[in-house]
Amino acid sequence: MIVSIKNEHLVVDFSTKGAELQRIMGTDSEVNYMWSGDAKFWGKFSPVLFPIVGAFKDNTYFYQGKSYHLSRHGFARDMEFSYEKLNTTEIAFKLRHNEETLKNYPFEFELTLKYRLQGASLQCAYQVSNPSNQPLLFSIGGHPAFAAPLHNEGVYTDYYLQFDNDDELTFHHIVDNLVLDETTTLKLSDKILPLKHELFYEDALVFKSLKSKHIRLLNNKNYNGLNFHFEGFPYFGIWAAKDANFVCLEPWCGIADGVNHNQQLADKEGMEKLQSGESWERSWEICCF
């Protein structure tokens, strides 16, 4: 089911499946800042990555002497969330553990995605709570895909990313969904990364040491673009499907297994840990113009 929030600047649509952000439309400009979801390239818009980010080696992990299987990015993106529309500009989606999730993820959890409009900005907040008397191990991340070009005019290479605090980008390579130790460094001119499809032919660019907290998506044809703000996410991904006209800006608390990982969940890089009764929150924000 599709539900919406709106104000004088933006109309925003979500699917209750995955609590997925699907459209951000300017009320005056009628610009949709989100990817179209064309299944020919990639049929999603902005999936939440939970309870893992990326993939386990062989889609398998071990916890307390037992083996479990989870596919890449976890199950939340494919599950139906309940929701509460708090007012015309704010909505909260909730997901809790059930018998099915416990089979391959032996943790009780409460996951809330809260979206809030303020002016021309949309905030997405992730809230995770541990209702059990055992520790909760999880990862979580965003995967929003932004259209490039934003209009029918122009082409992908008219667009670029501008970083607020990086003069060069050192990223890890992905092979068969796993992270290599090998890195490549891209030198930036004026903190700008020009977009070209070839950047993503080998999968996402994965960052473990990004300095920036703001990334702007801009173009050479018109004023329209966006500012993506994120804090408290130690990992970041930038990705697009092959030859597709979008770019994903992905703040992560968690990361795929390294190629040499031992598959023990307790040893997995980037996992968050909540004790009984504890809660956790992070957020990212899009400002559209």
**pLDDT per position as a tens digit, 19-43:** 999 999 999 988 999 999 999 999 9
Full domain range(s) for residue 210: 2-288
What is the C-alpha separation between 134 and 23, in angstroms, rounded?
Answer: 38
What separation in angstroms does the CA of 256 have from each of 15, 181, 184? 26, 12, 18
State the average pLDDT over residues 69-92.
97
The domain that holds 108 is classified in CATH as 2.70.98.10
Task: Measure Cα distances from 198 to 44, 83, 112, 242, 243 in Å.
Answer: 21, 39, 36, 8, 8
pLDDT at 138 over 80: yes
Q: What is the mean pLDDT of residues 100-114?
A: 98
Closest alpha carbon to 95 in 149, 20, 162? 20
**pLDDT recorded at residue 153:** 75
pLDDT at 20: 98
> What Cα–Cα distance (Å) separates residue 241 from each residue in 23, 81, 204?
19, 26, 9
Supply the pLDDT for residue 35. 98
Q: What pLDDT is stored for residue 58 in this prediction?
A: 97
Q: Is the pTM of this model over 0.85?
A: yes
Nearest partner of 110 among 81, 130, 140, judged by Cα: 130
Q: How many domains does the chain have?
A: 1
Q: Which residue has 């130690």 as its token pair?
A: 234
pLDDT of residue 141: 98
